[in-house]
Chain A
Amino acid sequence: MGLWDSYRMRVRRKRRLVRALRKSAELSCLQDNTRAIQPSDVLLVCTMRNEQIRLPYFLEYYRKLGINHFLFVDNDSDDDTVAYLQGMDDVSLWQAKASYRRAHYGVDWMNYLKRKYAHGHWVLVVDPDELFIYPFCDTRPIQALTDWLDSSAIRSFSAMLIDTYPKGRLSETPYHAGQNPLEIANWFDSGNYTISKNPMYGNLWIQGGPRARVFFADAPRNAPALNKIPLVKWDRRYAYVSSTHALLPRGLNQVYETDGGEKASGALLHTKFLDTLGIKAQEELARSEHYANSREYKAYAKALEQQPELWCKWSEKYINWRQLEILGLMSKGNWA
């Protein structure tokens, strides 16, 4: 990478930060508990819309993992999201009524909040349908991981998105609030992921899984990106550039080993494929607020009419992180 490239990236990063600041005008604070944040706290930042049904389990899961404070952006929900979160001591809540798409799918809002509140903290950025797992997550809290990353001088941690889905039709088993979504959507694809390197930001570009297999078999290039770097020791100079797929400065995207070894990595179990997806797809289609003109939701809406089955004979049933590590989807690296 030449000097010119570095300069370009620097300008791009600064523009992102300025943009985040400008877009922060769209945020109105509904509940500010940020004064309770302690210096060593691990934070979680999340943007959502009409996800009230998922929140009870989401909060339970991440509190148990050791998240100390939640920073939520509610994008104009018309369900009970806001009322539900109000009064929780470890939750700070903002509302944005403006366009999700024009805020770079929420990235601008969240970049702003992280710049303001997460400087010097480990921060996890996930969607409400994503469950973060990492090596030893069943026996060690997230602070064990972040302490280890700190002592290894690692600033960012990769967790690939793994789509989970139920056996049978989506509408067959309704999801109810507070339930572990993995009780329903507990199957995944283990070995059909393609990887290439994105020369612009130096991150890996991973595609595949059931979404590529079922919805994008005719246009694999358009299949959603599954690479994510959701856990970062934040610095106010950092910025996510597209969802949590890539960051600037580019060094943060070097979460993979190129010299033959394995770095430690985790996974985000993506429990999108529940009975709730049908309504969601219709709604998002009407709003057209998602990436590439909601290309993904168009594909779902079309395929969902035919009630597709994502499950196949070669689907793996999810057991635990060790299974994912053996399958080669994540790695302990040198953490033991």
Chain B
Amino acid sequence: MKLEVLKELNAERAARRPVIIVTDTANGEQRLVKAKDVAADPLRAELAKQLRMGKSGNVEVAGKKLFLNVYAPTAKLVIIGAVHISQALAPLARSLDYDVTVVDPRTAFASPERFPDVPLVAEWPDVALPPLNVDHYTAFVAVTHDPKIDDPALLHAFDRDCFYIGALGSRKTHAKRAERLRAQGAKDSDIARIHAPIGLDIGAVSPSEIAVAIMAEITAQLRLPPKEKEEAA
């Protein structure tokens, strides 16, 4: 690997931007493809597939055996609300390799006794969220049921283009939330991105089951190609 390629790879990784290194394993020839350049690449179908799965693999193109090494950032999960569902969701997400942070300004909820081993921020979203560097590789879940906390957090998630945004509440609750967010300047296209009611419909009842439904929906959003994603939702 040429030093320039290695430097560029490290710079992209530090900036949490996905990269694929394409190597011709017969002769060591190599190039770096940034995620934003995949659509214009001659190997776009293969690259897009590996990138979506976050998985490295081999392809054969025009008699050449190429190894596609995918460097995708670790996905983050930001949970707004240190509630019962979050107590089940945080460890589940960690077992799926997400970097998890729980935000709740209510210190009675955001206590280390209730959330051992999970980074907790007991601040309002306007203070808590900017240092978390919420980005596209972040799943964002708002489950406080309190508009004062959930609404500003959701506006932040729109702004940072999170790959998944979910909010707890029935269709009725969500309709009211959509009205409030619109009044605060949110676009319809942003509001349409919220998964609400949250989680895949698996008949979840208990907080742990709801956590499974949420993680299943996040996984589908992360891994499925766009068309199948619509069918799952």
Q: Indicate, yes or no, whether A interacts with B.
A: no
**B residues engaging A (CB < 8 A)?**
none
**A residues engaging B (CB < 8 A)?**
none
